[in-house]
Structures are given as structure tokens and as C-alpha cells.
Amino acid sequence: MLPQYKTIPTPVGELILVARGTKLAAILWENERLNRVRLGPLELDNDHPTLKETERQLLEYFAGQRRQFELALDFAGTDFQVRVWQALLTIPFGETRSYRDIAVQIGQPTATRAVGAANGRNPISIIAPCHRVIGTSGSLTGFAGGLAAKQFLLSLEGQQSLQLAF
């Protein structure tokens, strides 16, 4: 069976929600970089229960009514990537961590660049909050949805404006 998807409008643009079975497999951006997340062919299903629940929770988040998501997730990646993505889930709403913080958390303190690469391939944006990961200097760094979307999400969570990294 092919993964199922639906597209939803949000304040950060259209998002493509993807489910494998009963689990959320991806949240993709409308201007998604080709092959950032490898899913293969998808099948449209606007009534898929997991996708409808994901949409409901995301809309609550954007309305300021949700701080934590309650969804079963299906991370597909290397063991290292999955460890990084699981670490993202531990970053509390309204807080940020550096790539180095994540590297230390997963027990690989010298793997800062590898953490950055894994963060960039996070398939479940927003819910696995890669937007909460910033540069060690406190600057905003790359984000699949674009730096404006990252700043919007951090502002939504009460973060002060952070400096853009160039």
C-alpha cells in the first residue's frame, strides 16, 4: 500500500501531510527540496484518519491552543538520524537547543555537523521541532521551510527574534 497524503493550508504555507498506515511519516513544505525526504509514490486521501488528526492538531498549534502533539510517528532513516529526530521531540515548546546540545544529548559530542545534516532531513517538520534548533551563537540557521517560517514558528512559541545567520 502506498503512503497516503493530503495538503493543508497553514500560516507558513501549504503543508503536505503523509501517513504510512496509522502513523505520520512526513510533513513536507510546499517548496520542498527534491529528495530531502524520500517517500516514493504517494496516494491522495483527504479522509485518512491519521492525516485528519494531524491537521486538527497542527491547526490548534497555529491557533496557540496546542503546545505538544499526540501522534504516532514513523521515522524512516538511519539509526543516527532517528536518534537525532527522537532528541528533537524532547525540546520543550518555547525553548531552543543548539546542534551541539543535540550532539551531546545523543552521546556524540563531536558530531555537531552530522546532527545538522540529520536535522535538515527531518521528515516530520514542526511536530519533531527542528525549528527549535539554532546555531551555537544563537543565530537562526538553515531550515527546510525557509528562515522566515522558522522565525514565525519560534515567534509563535514565544521566542524573541533571533539573528539570521548569513
Catalytic residue numbers read 130
What angle do the packed helices 79-88 and 112-120 form, to 10 degrees? 80
Scanning the structure block, which residue is given the C-alpha cell 521528515? Answer: 123
Name the 3-class secondary structure at 24. strand
Instruction: For 30-156, list the strands marked E by DSSP.
Output: 43-44, 97-98, 133-134
Which region, left, alpha or beta, applies to residue 69 given φ > 0 means left and ψ of -120 to 50 means alpha? beta
Contact 60, 68 (CB under 8 A): no
Q: What is the largest CA-CA distance in the chain?
A: 45
Contact 12, 31 (CB under 8 A): no
Let me know how many helices (H) and strands (E) the chain has, helices first.
5, 6
